[in-house]
Structure 1
Amino acid sequence: MPTRTPSALWAHQFRRSPESKATLQHQIRQMLVAAILDGQLPPDSALPSSRELADQLGVARNTVVLAYQMLVEEGYLLSRERSGHFVNPEMLQGLHGLTARQPEPGPGAPAGEIHVRPEWQKRIVRPPSAQRNIVKPTNWQNYAFPFIYGQFDQSLFPINDWRECCMKALSIMEIRNWAPDLIERDDESLIQQIRTRVLPRRGVFAMPEEIVITNGCQQALYLVADLLCGKRTTVGFENPGYPDARNIFENRNAHLLELPVDGEGIDPQRLSGSLARCDYVYVTPSHQCPTTATMPIGRRRALLELAQRNDFVIIEDDYESENTFSGTPHPALKSLDTADRVIYVGSLSKTFAPGLRLGYVVGPQELIRELRALRRLMVRHPVAYIQRAFATFLALGHHDALLRRLAHAYKERAQALMAALDTHLPEARYVPVAGGASCWVEGPPWLDSARLADDAREAGILIEPGGVFFADEAERSPWFRMGFSAIKLEKIEPGVRALAQVVRQQQPS
């Protein structure tokens, strides 16, 4: 006979949170599913009537009725006429019988035999966790002054526009386009939007077979490095430069040749001897990472001429191409390329929502074909539903409108940040911000930016110490990066003022 669960259990289990954005119906369903899957409800046990449970939880009866109906449709509950709702035994079949057991010794194994575990530290040839990375607290949104880069401000997110595009992608006619396994293909409408709406703004023109979609710039760089780099490969790399890209190339056993950066990026003429030794040169010419310097046209042409003369290929990471205060992006290095000397890596989601992870690579057809084949071994293709929704977002003009709003908001924040630094940290120097979403700051010579970041975090301030961007972390401790994409305008001045107090505390007597 089915057992009846005490109603008091539900009053205890249900934690009605005023901060939760989920509906009461969703919260009740979540509570019941958790109780079933966690084994608190045995198979075939009876649930309270909808009226009884509603009284216990202090909600409308219809809310409980709808929750029960959804769980019946999903197979968690069975509805029996005139008897009520019961936990479906088939849903739990084999679930609660799975308990952790020690493996029994095989036939002939001696009693008490010790099972030796593998020594994983010896087996992992190059542990990724040992790499130097930019560290950002997962709870950064709880800090009063989050001067971190690469996160977004929820108040600037186009919720209604994105919801509209997601709903369109869920229509019956659209589902058949993205629900099947695309294998090596990408969403054709997204490729079309990139080549006709995104790339021309950067002066780049490409055919569909010259573009491949990736899970952000990060995967794009990994695919390129995995395909092209080995123990005999030399990669010219900006110093300071993007730590994750450095880690990716080193992980593929490439030899990195550090290329010093000045106020205009790398200087091809001064570095011509070093560049001649490279197979590939990785650069961020539009907004150099992390200094934000923009490489002038003269240097870009010189770099392309050296690539042609010395037979090396340029990997252009245009991660922040759309973040310009003027509204007109800088022409890409790729736009000057007439000999397939540039592999172009771009991002679609950095200005929108970094969590979407949408990037792309533009290159010659034979390279893109191999990148697609390699990507198939990793993830087959990025989520097709997101591709289709973002294609619609581009086609309806929502992306262009968003870029205009971001340019205005980021310009205001950049001006406020520079003014606050002038007022409260006059002893610091910074690269003037003309685009992007970060400011590269050099503190006094005695400043330890790693220690500053730790002390600032205790005061509710998040900054990024600059040492991780350099090949030799010990060299440049006074440098740090301040992002402004995730911090409200009115928080910038008090945040810099508070940071200045932390800096003063470190000043030698």
Structure 2
Amino acid sequence: MPRRPPERFAFDALQVDPCADQPLYRQLEQRLRDAILAGQLKPAERVPSTRRLAADLQVSRNTVSLAYAQLLSEGYLEAEVGSGTRVSRHLPDDLLQASPAPRTAASAAVGPRLSRRGSSVAALGQWITLPGVPPRPFRPHVPALDLFPRHIWRRLSQRRLRRMPWYEWGQVPPLGYPPLREAIAEYLGISRGVRCTAEQVVIVAGAQQAIDFVARLLLDDGEAAWIEEPGYTPARHLFELAGVEVVPVPVDGDGLSVAAGEQLRADARLAYVTPSCQWPTGLTMSLPRRLELLEWARCQSAWILEDDYNGEYRYDGRPLPAIHGLADDGHVIYMGTFSKVMFPGLRLGYLVVPDQLREAFRAARWMADRHSPPFEQAILTDFINEGHFARHLRRMRTACAARQQALVDALDRHLGGAVEVVGRESGLQLLVHAGAGMDARRLTTAAQKAGVEFHPLSVYAAAEPEREGMILGFAAYREEQIEQAVQDWAVRLERG
């Protein structure tokens, strides 16, 4: 077997720190980009395969793949069939400097710049994941895409292509395709206890747009909003970008602590909550706490934004009715999405708003992007009205319950007392803490070395949590994948 020619650049000396705040793939991407720009890696120079570099650096192959994918998309690397991956041959000469001149404060200030809000948006780049990269156990926020009935969706799409009137290909009302709004209102009344009419349903491009509209339309600069702590960090960012003062309110076993919120900012104008499946703990807000939150909203003339992103996934009894169904005075705005029960690429969600807000949301949707695509809305309408949605949801509940149990069993079998599992009653994720006598950093380092994907609890907390945790998604992974990933994790942990 011919020996591999020696490499001029010491790839195995690249430094990545699993304990750093920045993800490993971002660190590796930056190290390689710096080496190219500094001339340490020359144009057309070959880089190692993902498998070999992963082994050299003792990181997962997915980490290297993510770094390479970003550099390929930026033009720093190029790939050819049969030739592997190389440094791009077409980089501008003025970028390839052995010692690039440092930027001074004066030079950085020359020319147009971002606004303060723009700088805040740019700082959120770490939340943007690369598309098209297959998830590995146990990446959260990924539904069971392998179970989606694509053959039914294809058939409905083809039928709509043949039968959809020409004028519906133009525009639909900004609030959404009327038959879809009717179907959603009927579904919510039956399954989630939400009392609403189709006129109150606003179709949006997913949960992020819904939160953004709520923040901009209901809160003025400097007004306060309660956010669960720990909680859904992208929501916190959206409120901050809208000029809202974010007040992290601690979560206990009953949900967001209203008493703690009143001590922090009783005059807040809105509370953002995930009561059916608190993100990221997976716990459910108790009925007394829901009633307490409603009473606070009434006394303060405040809003409650109820994010029911995972309300359908409950494994201990029937799904609990929404807070919206307990209120009759218009203080609750209900929010849902099809990302977790169908597929994220659909980019369709909805809000249920009081009648007095309908015109404001209609105008906001029209100014933002007019409306969601009518074709996808029409197909989704058929999917719901013909019973496919209800059947798919039942299948998903059964499968996700089995996958959750497979993860719990695998953790117990292979890691035992090294981990402590929280929040099994609902959702598509588990929160795991290091068990008694186990060092949390050692546990997470072993997971990273085994190629196990997870989200640290700290990224969803405004302050350092009392106990660091790992958020493990399970919905997208078959039982055998779950077993193998936990087994690999345990082996790495044992090796130290």
**Where on the TM-score scale, by shorter chain, does this alignment land: which range?**
0.7 to 0.9
Structure 1 residue 228: Cα displacement:
1.9
Partner of 1:249: 239
Partner of 1:439: 430
Q: Match for 1:467 among 454, 458, 470?
A: 458
Sort the Cα spacing of 1:258 and 1:124 in 2 relative to 1 into closer, same or farther, 3 A.
closer
Q: Match for 1:159 among 134, 144, 150?
A: 150
Cα deviation digits, residues 1-60 of structure 1 (max 9, x gap): xxxxxxxxxxxxxxxxxxxxxxxxxxxxxxxxxxxxxxxxxxxxxxxxxxxxxxxxxxxx
Q: Which runs of 5+ in 1 are unaligned?
A: 1-115
Sort the Cα spacing of 1:257 and 1:504 in 2 relative to 1 into closer, same or farther, 3 A.
farther
Structure 1 residue 223: Cα displacement:
0.9
8 Å CA contact 2:219–2:269 kept in 1: the answer is no
**CA–CA distance in structure 1, aligned partners of residues 457 and 495 of structure 2:** 19
**Is 1:129 equivalent to 2:119 in the alignment?**
no
Cα deviation digits, residues 332-360 of structure 1 (max 9, x gap): 01110111111111112321111101110
Sort the Cα spacing of 1:175 and 1:442 in 2 relative to 1 into closer, same or farther, 3 A.
farther
Cα deviation digits, residues 115-148 of structure 1 (max 9, x gap): x97343567643313138556564542x6x4211
**Paired positions, count:** 386
Q: Match for 1:401 among 383, 391, 405?
A: 391
Structure 1 residue 266: Cα displacement:
1.3
8 Å CA contact 1:292–1:440 kept in 2: the answer is yes
User: Which residue identity does 2:241 align to in structure 1?
Assistant: N
**CA–CA distance in structure 1, aligned partners of residues 423 and 485 of structure 2:** 19
Q: Match for 2:418 among 423, 427, 450?
A: 427
**CA–CA distance in structure 1, aligned partners of residues 295 and 157 of structure 2:** 45
Sort the Cα spacing of 1:177 and 1:353 in 2 relative to 1 into closer, same or farther, 3 A.
farther
Sort the Cα spacing of 1:258 and 1:463 in 2 relative to 1 into closer, same or farther, 3 A.
same
Sort the Cα spacing of 1:130 and 1:476 in 2 relative to 1 into closer, same or farther, 3 A.
farther
Q: Structure 1 stretch 256-265 or stretch 320-329: which is displaced more?
A: 320-329
- SS of the residue corresponding to residue 411 of structure 1 reads helix
Q: Structure 1 stretch 310-319 or stretch 125-134: which is displaced more?
A: 125-134
Structure 1 residue 175: Cα displacement:
3.4
**CA–CA distance in structure 1, aligned partners of residues 345 and 132 of structure 2:** 15
- SS of the residue corresponding to residue 476 of structure 2 reads coil
Structure ID, larger Rg? 1
Structure 1 residue 477: Cα displacement:
6.4
**CA–CA distance in structure 2, aligned partners of residues 271 and 427 of structure 1:** 34
8 Å CA contact 2:315–2:425 kept in 1: the answer is yes
Q: Match for 1:494 among 470, 484, 488?
A: 484
- SS of the residue corresponding to residue 394 of structure 1 reads helix
8 Å CA contact 1:217–1:346 kept in 2: the answer is yes
**CA–CA distance in structure 1, aligned partners of residues 301 and 263 of structure 2:** 13
**CA–CA distance in structure 1, aligned partners of residues 167 and 467 of structure 2:** 51
**CA–CA distance in structure 2, aligned partners of residues 123 and 283 of structure 1:** 28
TM-score w.r.t. the length of structure 1 is: 0.71
Sort the Cα spacing of 1:429 and 1:274 in 2 relative to 1 into closer, same or farther, 3 A.
same
**Is 1:378 equivalent to 2:378 in the alignment?**
no
8 Å CA contact 1:133–1:243 kept in 2: the answer is no
Q: Which runs of 5+ in 2 are unaligned?
A: 1-108
**CA–CA distance in structure 2, aligned partners of residues 123 and 359 of structure 1:** 29
Q: Match for 1:307 among 259, 277, 297?
A: 297
Cα deviation digits, residues 145-203 of structure 1 (max 9, x gap): 4211222344301011111221222123x233530222524111101100112343110
Cα deviation digits, residues 271-308 of structure 1 (max 9, x gap): 44335221111100000010011001111111111211
- SS of the residue corresponding to residue 119 of structure 2 reads coil
**CA–CA distance in structure 2, aligned partners of residues 328 and 475 of structure 1:** 31
Q: Structure 1 stretch 317-326 or stretch 376-385: which is displaced more?
A: 317-326
Sort the Cα spacing of 1:322 and 1:380 in 2 relative to 1 into closer, same or farther, 3 A.
same
Structure 1 residue 406: Cα displacement:
0.6
- SS of the residue corresponding to residue 462 of structure 1 reads coil
Structure 1 residue 466: Cα displacement:
1.4
User: Which residue identity does 1:460 align to in structure 2?
Assistant: G
8 Å CA contact 1:148–1:462 kept in 2: the answer is yes
1:82-93 equivalences under 5 Å are none
- SS of the residue corresponding to residue 259 of structure 1 reads strand
- SS of the residue corresponding to residue 481 of structure 1 reads strand
Q: Match for 2:447 among 446, 456, 459?
A: 456
- SS of the residue corresponding to residue 418 of structure 2 reads coil
Cα deviation digits, residues 54-109 of structure 1 (max 9, x gap): xxxxxxxxxxxxxxxxxxxxxxxxxxxxxxxxxxxxxxxxxxxxxxxxxxxxxxxx
User: Which residue identity does 2:155 align to in structure 1?
Assistant: E
8 Å CA contact 1:214–1:360 kept in 2: the answer is yes
Sort the Cα spacing of 1:290 and 1:448 in 2 relative to 1 into closer, same or farther, 3 A.
same
Sort the Cα spacing of 1:413 and 1:432 in 2 relative to 1 into closer, same or farther, 3 A.
same
Q: Match for 1:369 among 334, 359, 364?
A: 359
Sort the Cα spacing of 1:327 and 1:263 in 2 relative to 1 into closer, same or farther, 3 A.
closer
Partner of 1:76: none
- SS of the residue corresponding to residue 320 of structure 1 reads coil
User: Which residue identity does 1:291 align to in structure 2?
Assistant: T
